[in-house]
Amino acid sequence: MIPDANVDTSRDRNRIAAMVNSIANLERDCTRALLSQAIIDAILSWPEHERRLFAWVHYDGWSLEKAAGALGLDLAQAPRMFEVCDGSLRASLRDFSSSPFK
């Protein structure tokens, strides 16, 4: 009996598709890990007040007023400080904006 060539081709296609999926998942995981480390490195490079203000507001959901009060900052300077931190972080992560794994 001659094996059905279509069955073997179908199995090969499925195996190749699974391998391509595995590679894509690995690349996506690596990109995420690199992005996470880049975020941490960028934030850790800032002075303590900027680092705390940004983390509390962006990650912990604090209001700018609450974070400014906790740091003893003037309420007028907190929004600008946050904007500068946000812009700095975005600029340092620009290389990741062209990643196909968003």
Question: Taking the model in full, what pTM does it have?
Answer: 0.69
Compute and round to an integer the Cα radius of gyration of the chain: 23
Assess contact for 57 and 81: CB atoms under 8 A. Answer: no
Assign 13 a pLDDT band (cuts: 50, 70, 90).
confident
Can you tell me the distance from the alpha carbon of 99 to that of 42, in angstroms, rounded to the nearest whole number? Answer: 19
Query: What does the chain come to in residues?
Result: 102
Total domains present in the chain: 1
| Residue labelled with tokens 């912990």 | 60
Q: Report helix angle 77-92 to 64-71, nearest 10.
A: 100
Domain hosting 44: range is 5-98
Higher pLDDT, 31 or 78: 78
Q: What is the pLDDT of residue 7?
A: 55
Q: What is the pLDDT of residue 96?
A: 80
Can you tell me the distance from the alpha carbon of 90 to that of 50, in angstroms, rounded to the nearest whole number? Answer: 15
Q: Residue 53 is part of a domain; what is its CATH number? A: 1.10.10.10
Q: What is the pLDDT of residues 72-83, one digit of tens each?
A: 999 999 999 999
